[in-house]
């Protein structure tokens, strides 16, 4: 039997309950942050992602809320227009707000350090045409734009490191870093670590087990997420936008989609991964009642991973 890695800390995320940047403060069915904290803790996770700054609380109040529930902070997600210098400069205030929250919370919690989880923000075309990274590579960056992208990424990475936090780059559907080839290019223009999101990687045309083994020395954060590719293909065929992946709930309970879950987790142990692994099952909240089913799903995900040694 493969030796289990003791250094893996399992977290959950507000997006698994329908709370993220597309819904918080917008959709009235978005669940209360305190309710999510309670559910994540009672389900047996060791940590939680931040969600939009302020959603779970701020400063000392948030630190105490996490500590009272024995939860660490895994990180927080932000998208940036890396290749657009002017727009990037404007977005740095959001990064500072995230890092300020980390600073305020860290004294109250234990576990691995939270990671600034940064991603590209795509373009109107990419947002409207998920999967274009693999299906239409010509819609991606040319070499000159990749150079600008690398310069912008360096600004964000350096800002995180200057504050004492090591960032991680998240592959995301509907952006300029979704296909395996685009991820490889991103890694070539930066020394930033990679957050392998298994669900989005599947949608981008990749195989997560292969990626884990190929790029393990660059992976410093993992989002464990399943995806049903047949449902994604219908979204692509219908020419639906990226938001359809959440609206149509193509991310199922772990083990019910196309992720080779057991092999992936086994290789995490075998390779000796250490740090946060965040369980995600992105949804739109839709109705107030949807929260209860989401909570049940996250409890089930925790049980499934427990059987696999996490």
**159 Cβ contact partners less than 8 Å away, ≥ 6 residues apart:** 92, 95, 96, 99
In the three-class reduction of DSSP (H, G, I as helix; E, B as strand; rest coil), residue 176 is classed as: coil
Which structural domains are found in the chain, ordered by start? 8-307 (3.20.20.150)
Q: Taking each helix axis as running N to C, give the angle between helix 33-42 and helix 59-68, from 0 to 180 degrees, rounded to the nearest 10.
A: 30
pLDDT per position in the chain (310 positions), as tens? 445 556 999 999 999 999 999 999 999 999 999 999 999 999 999 999 999 999 999 999 999 999 999 999 999 999 999 999 999 999 999 999 999 999 999 999 999 999 999 999 999 999 999 999 999 999 999 999 999 999 999 999 999 999 999 999 999 999 999 999 999 999 999 999 999 999 999 999 999 999 999 999 999 999 999 999 999 999 999 999 999 999 999 999 999 999 999 999 999 999 999 999 999 999 999 998 899 999 999 999 999 999 999 9
CA dist 59 and 124 (Å) reads 35
Q: What is the pTM of this model?
A: 0.96
* Distance (Å) of CA 141 to CA 49, 84, 197, 204, 219: 30, 12, 21, 16, 23
């Amino acid at each position: 039997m493969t030796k289990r890695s003791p250094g893996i800390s399992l977290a959950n995320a507000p997006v698994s309950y329908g709370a993220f940047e597309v819904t918080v403060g917008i959709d009235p069915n978005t669940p209360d942050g305190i309710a999510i904290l309670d559910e994540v803790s009672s389900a047996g996770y060791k940590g939680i992602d931040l969600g939009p700054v302020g959603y779970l609380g701020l400063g000392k109040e948030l630190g105490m809320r996490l500590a009272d529930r024995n939860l660490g902070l895994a990180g927080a997600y932000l998208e940036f227009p890396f290749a657009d210098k002017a727009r990037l400069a404007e977005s740095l205030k959001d990064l500072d707000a995230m890092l300020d929250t980390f600073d305020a919370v860290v004294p109250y919690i234990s576990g691995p350090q939270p990671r600034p989880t940064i991603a590209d923000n795509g373009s109107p075309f990419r947002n409207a045409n998920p999967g274009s990274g693999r299906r239409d590579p010509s819609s991606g960056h040319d070499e000159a734009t990749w150079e600008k992208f690398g310069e912008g990424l360096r600004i964000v990475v350096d800002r995180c490191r200057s504050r004492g936090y090591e960032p991680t780059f998240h592959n995301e559907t509907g952006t300029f870093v979704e296909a395996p080839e685009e991820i490889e290019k991103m890694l070539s223009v930066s020394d930033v670590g990679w957050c392998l999101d298994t669900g989005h990687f599947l949608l981008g045309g990749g195989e997560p087990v292969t990626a884990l083994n190929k790029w393990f020395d660059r992976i410093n954060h993992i989002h464990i997420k399943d995806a049903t590719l047949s449902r994604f293909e219908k979204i692509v065929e219908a020419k639906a936008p990226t938001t359809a992946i959440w609206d149509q709930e193509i991310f199922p309970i772990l083990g019910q989609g196309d992720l080779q879950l057991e092999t992936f987790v086994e290789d995490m142990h075998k390779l000796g991964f250490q740090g946060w692994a965040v369980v995600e099952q992105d949804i739109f909240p839709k109705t107030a009642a949807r929260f209860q089913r989401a909570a049940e799903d996250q409890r089930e995900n925790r049980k499934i991973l427990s059987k696999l040694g996490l």
